[in-house]
A and B are shown apart, each in its own frame.
Chain A
């Protein structure tokens, strides 16, 4: 089976949250309440056990004020020519959106942490929690470097995006990708998505947006033994702006050395006890 994943292009996301809603509807996820953050129009805040797609609203104020008669259409179209009155393309500030989701890591920390084998890689090479096996130990939660997988107290188990395993089995694309009106979310085979991402970044660079890059590669985002992510993103700012770590590590790389260090400590402490009892 081909490996599947997402490519989420933040440059065309309009913040409609259709993906969030479609995900909730298809997966029958409960509402998160009616809490106003006062931070932005994003009241969801974060991915959780009951929110598997989350659209972040990133407001960055402009560096320069626009003065005079500015061609707003040219601005919106991303024209990078000299603007009247020395205004900058970023002068209006930026309001970026980003639809976050489980990264479906190539070597997934949550899956390696899981003691019951509830978290598996399915035939599409997606990271999937078997709900009938999970016993709610919660160890996958701090293992995920992206804060994706979350325990649901009312249920006891951990939940996250399944990449619509059920829909894929029936040959359908995931609900979020289906609902996205701008194709900011594209579902497909990982290799195909990688090609597409590179092409898009090249296109953006040509148009003057040299800050565009792909997040979820072995160089950025999918680093430190994680081996890249099947969910990739095209970002326009530092990863932290989107609440993403720049260069996370696979936490399990530490298990071997930590066990070895503990074995040395065990030998030394045992020797100390032996010494005390010999005299």
Chain B
């Protein structure tokens, strides 16, 4: 037990006696490793893909290729998500304790339950899809059973849980003592969700484009939706930066700024918006989707990493708790 108490010194090097205790961070950063931001990204893609395909279907949009892509993408995301989360636990073998109780005040508890329910439903839905696609064989009882799964109804039922999975990463971070996250409490969830929609849409359109599947109308609709989601994401990100104010310093600071402004804002939002607004072509669409997906990953990374840096800054914590600026 060595590492645990020893802290990186606060980024502020100037020490005013009386203002802090040798610049030792007064709060502690989470241990979360790479699994967490990758999970926020992967889970968000699944949530977005599910939401989009379900909405399209409810509106009577009948493209089977879109439905198929959506269901398999969601399944993949929901298989990976718990694995990532469990491997980040200090005691992975006790992962099932996440479902030991339900706690409405704990975003981690709400998120675990939502992930469990959404993941289970998406498993059933994808099984039905697989049976329809003939992947489970023809006349065997399992395939017949799978075909009987009311996939449409289950998709609609899964919607609230999917939407929560897409947003709760932000809520979870916001409900902490970390200044950068806590300052922006109201917009964290919406920003994560907007990114979840944009990355989910991009995953769908990337899959359809790469496989050369889907109707022309589907591609056009996805393109329109991607643009709208990106605009929403851009607006929410700008508002978040305004809300964070000086507490967003880790995002403007040295190691993270290039990734945030270059990777997320420019590469992940502005560039794809330009690509999607101009002439429509397959390579442009593919490039836009890839950029959005990578930008979403960069966004999750800088948000988690930025919070850790914010927690290490004693002056940020002190002025935040004194409700300054």
Q: Tell me if B141 counts as interface (CB < 8 A to partner A).
A: no
Q: Which residue of B lies closest to A149 (CB)?
A: B28
Considering only residues 249-279 of chain A, those with a C-beta below 8 Å from chain B are 249, 251-252, 254-255, 257-259, 261-266, 268-270, 272-279
Check if A29 sits within 8 Å of B30, measured CB to CB.
no
Which B residues are CB-close (under 8 A) to A262?
163-164, 167-168, 170-171, 189-190, 193
Which A residues are CB-close (under 8 A) to B95?
135
Which B residues are CB-close (under 8 A) to A176?
none
B18 partner, pick from A33, A150, A241, beta carbons under 8 A: A241
Check if B106 sits within 8 Å of A266, measured CB to CB.
no
Q: Tell me if A32 counts as interface (CB < 8 A to partner B).
A: yes
Q: Which residue of A lies closest to B225 (CB)?
A: A276
Number of interface residues of A (CB under 8 A): 89
Q: Tell me if A83 counts as interface (CB < 8 A to partner B).
A: no
- 1/0 per position for B63-97, CB-CB distance to A under 8 A? 00000000000000000000000001111101101
Check if A243 sits within 8 Å of B163, measured CB to CB.
no
Check if B55 sits within 8 Å of A270, measured CB to CB.
yes
Which one of A151, A242, A243, A265 has the greatest number of beta carbons of chain B within 10 Å? A265
Check if A45 sits within 8 Å of B318, measured CB to CB.
no
A139 partner, pick from B172, B186, B224, beta carbons under 8 A: B172
Q: Which residue of A lies closest to B182 (CB)?
A: A251
Q: Tell me if A152 counts as interface (CB < 8 A to partner B).
A: yes
Q: A262-B167, A269-B197 are in contact. List 19 more A-B contacts (CB 8 A).
A: A45-B7, A113-B108, A118-B97, A134-B90, A135-B98, A138-B31, A138-B90, A142-B29, A142-B177, A157-B91, A243-B21, A243-B314, A245-B321, A258-B175, A266-B163, A270-B163, A273-B52, A273-B229, A276-B221
Could you list which residues of chain B lie within 8 angstroms of chain A, going by C-beta atoms? Answer: 1-7, 17-22, 24-32, 51-52, 55-56, 59, 61, 88-92, 94-95, 97-98, 100-101, 103-109, 112, 163-164, 166-168, 170-172, 174-178, 181-182, 185-190, 193-194, 197, 201, 221-222, 224-225, 228-229, 232, 236, 307, 311, 314, 317-318, 321-323
Question: What are the 6 A-B residue pairs with the smallest beta carbon separation, nearest first?
Answer: A136-B90, A48-B5, A156-B90, A262-B189, A265-B190, A243-B21
